[in-house]
Amino acid sequence: MPKNFVSNKDVTVRMFENNLLEAFSKVHPVVPVIIYTPTILYFLFRAIKVYPVSEENIFALIIMGIIVWTFTEYTLHRFVFHYKPSSRLGERVHFIFHGVHHDYPNDSRRLVMPPSVSIPLAVLFYYIFLAILGKGFVAPFFIGFLTGYLFYDMTHYAVHHFNIHNSFWLALKKHHMKHHFMDPDKGYGVSSPIWDKIIGTDFPKAKEEPADKSYL
């Protein structure tokens, strides 16, 4: 198993001896857009035509879905991706799920969630939300949830590979880079730092920015 270190190069480490498993562990960043944009449009059709919901309720449920996604993102990142079992098998599983990203943060093929993971999770969450909200409200809510997820995936890729100058995106990039290079036990939000601020895992504000900004 690779040891913990940081490679700033866009290189891919092999994780599986099996070629099929290895292929499924990597994904081009455009794949989530191809999969989930039509899915979002499908649920929009259902919200408007199949189980008609008022425009006000559609908007409110979409916003709620986005908010729930941001909390889901925070929770998964903090308690699942950063869970480190003490056994050798557990360490291996942790490396496959998330440790590889901290060791190779600029690996462009492992910056968005592979469909082999995201699709089963999406199906699981859909049926949870269906049980809670019912058929009438689940479609617009799930639109917000999937939109939040897609924004997360694209943000994650952007902050690692785009030369960002916009203040909003730069703030997200700085927040995430601090998680990688300053303290991996803080800054779990990628698409939004809001839950880090609410729960208390945000980075303390310094009076001055560090002189070394090479991680940007």
Q: What is the pLDDT of residue 11?
A: 66
Q: What is the pLDDT of residue 1?
A: 37
Domain contains 210: no
The DSSP code sequence of 174-210 is HHHHHHHHT-TTS---SS--HHHHHHT-SPPPPSS--
Q: Phi first, then psi: what are they for 36, rounded to 5°?
A: -95, -20
- If one counts the domains in the chain, the total is 1
Domain contains 139: yes
Contact 74, 176 (CB under 8 A): no
Any residues with CB less than 8 A from the CB of 99 and at least 6 apart, and which? Answer: 4, 91
Q: What is the pLDDT of residue 9?
A: 66
User: In which domain, by residue range, is 141 found?
Assistant: 19-199
Quote the pTM value.
0.86
Q: What is the pLDDT of residue 3?
A: 46
Domain contains 76: yes
Domain contains 208: no
Distance CA 157, CA 192 (A): 14
Domain contains 52: yes
Domain contains 216: no
Domain contains 8: no
Alpha helices by DSSP H, the chain: 19-24, 31-45, 55-75, 88-94, 100-103, 115-133, 135-161, 167-181, 194-199
Distance CA 62, CA 90 (A): 37
For 33, the 3-state DSSP assignment is: helix
Domain contains 204: no
* Mean pLDDT per 10-residue interval, the chain, length 216 residues: 56 76 81 96 94 91 98 95 79 74 79 89 97 95 98 93 89 93 93 96 74 52
Q: What is the pLDDT of residue 14?
A: 76
Q: At what angle do helices 167-181 and 135-161 cross, to 10 degrees?
A: 80
